């Protein structure tokens, strides 16, 4: 198929990857289904400019960005065993916690990078609460790549959703002293909510780079809310079972995309940092933040096969899947 030139960026071509249903590109403004026509757009699908404007690093370059081996920290592969208790928690309560997935050295290094760059080149983000946001971490430094297929975390996502996944985005949020509660919400658009035992359309992970607790505004969750078929709590609804678990730095909260969640108010005196790895169905959904934009080709050699699959880079950088086509 002949690549199409993006007129807004001279010399740049948009390629379309083959699709299991025929490989044709979607119509402009479609839901991302190859060949689908119409004016509807897939919610939460941002082009490069919008992603950076909404989530961070709209200008400038990240500090400490240089090629290095992708496996930049040791991973204990024995962590990759599935715990039936945690699967039950995900299905019944809509979330579970993996303790100490990252070692202290790695956590500190990532926290320092995120805080420095969120304050320097991130953006103010006011979606249901205030914070600094830094977007598309996998394009800023390869040390973040092992997070996306971490053996202590990804198997739970795959068990719940199946193997056909993409990483919708890996972004960071830095909450400052005085920043208030973020409104509770689910991540799945209302018209795409799943019912009952259907596989989740999306799942999310919160990687604690600081200790998360009620004092500094750790993540709040409402157990069982993924079964409500509501994206937000109805006005006036009491939530006596809302939780704000204490999570040590280096640990990960995994939750169903429909689980109501939100950051808490930071009543402490220090910045609180966390990363958010967001996974989506890969057959037809777009990235939230496209990892192909700004990704260095020299990093490909050190990537695992699964990392390439999750970023749709099996055929290299800029090789588009049909669901990724959009005008920039």
Higher pLDDT, 319 or 14: 319
In sequence order, the 6+-apart residues with CB closer than 8 A to the CB of 202 are 168, 187, 188, 257, 278, 279, 280, 281
At residue 217, the pLDDT reads 87
At residue 60, the pLDDT reads 55
Nearest alpha carbon to residue 113 among 144, 73, 82, 81: 144
Q: How confident is the model at residue 72 (pLDDT cuts 50, 70, 90)?
A: very low
> Torsion angle of alpha carbons 128, 271, 139, 293, nearest 10°?
30
At residue 190, the pLDDT reads 79
Question: 5-14, 57-66, 157-166 — which one is most confidently predicted on average?
Answer: 157-166
At residue 40, the pLDDT reads 32
At residue 25, the pLDDT reads 31
- pLDDT by residue (tens digit) across 20-38? 333 333 332 322 223 333 3
Count of CB atoms situated within 10 Å of the CB of 281: 18
What does pTM read for this prediction?
0.78
Ranges of each domain in the chain:
43-324
- pLDDT by residue (tens digit) across 226-235? 989 899 899 9
Distance CA 108, CA 81 (A): 26
The CATH number given to 43-324 is: 2.60.120.620
211 φ, ψ to 5°? -60, 135
Nearest alpha carbon to residue 244 among 267, 260, 224, 264: 264
Classify the phi-psi angles of 192: left when phi > 0, otherwise alpha if psi is within -120 to 50, otherwise beta.
Answer: alpha
């Amino acid at each position: 198929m002949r690549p199409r030139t993006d007129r807004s960026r001279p010399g740049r071509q948009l390629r379309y990857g083959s699709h299991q249903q025929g490989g044709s590109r979607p119509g402009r403004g479609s839901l991302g289904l190859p060949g689908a026509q119409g004016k509807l757009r897939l919610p939460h699908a941002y082009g490069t400019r919008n992603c950076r404007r909404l989530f961070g690093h709209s200008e400038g370059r990240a500090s400490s960005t240089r090629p290095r081996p992708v496996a930049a920290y040791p991973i204990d592969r024995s962590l990759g065993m599935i715990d039936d208790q945690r699967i039950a928690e995900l299905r019944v309560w809509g979330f579970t916690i993996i303790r100490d997935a990252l070692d202290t050295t790695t956590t500190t290094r990532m926290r320092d990078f995120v805080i420095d760059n969120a304050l320097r080149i991130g953006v103010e983000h006011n979606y249901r609460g205030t914070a600094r946001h830094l977007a598309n971490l996998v394009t800023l430094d390869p040390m973040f790549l092992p997070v996306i297929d971490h053996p202590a975390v990804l198997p739970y996502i795959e068990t719940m959703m199946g193997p056909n996944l993409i990483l919708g985005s890996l972004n960071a949020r830095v909450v400052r002293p005085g920043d208030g509660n973020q409104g509770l919400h689910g991540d799945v658009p209302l018209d795409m909510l799943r019912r009952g035992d259907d596989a989740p359309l999306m799942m999310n992970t919160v990687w604690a780079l600081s200790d998360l607790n009620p004092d500094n505004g750790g993540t709040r969750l409402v157990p069982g809310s993924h079964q409500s078929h509501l994206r937000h709590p109805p006005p006036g609804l009491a939530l006596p079972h809302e939780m704000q678990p204490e999570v040590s730095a280096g640990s990960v909260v995994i939750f169903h995309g429909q689980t109501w969640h939100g950051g808490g108010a930071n009543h402490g005196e220090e910045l609180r940092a966390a990363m958010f790895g967001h996974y989506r169905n890969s057959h037809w959904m777009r990235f939230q933040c496209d990892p192909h934009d700004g990704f260095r080709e020299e990093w490909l050699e050190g990537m695992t096969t699964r990392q390439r699959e999750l970023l749709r880079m099996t055929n290299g950088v800029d090789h588009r899947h049909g669901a990724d086509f959009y005008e920039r």
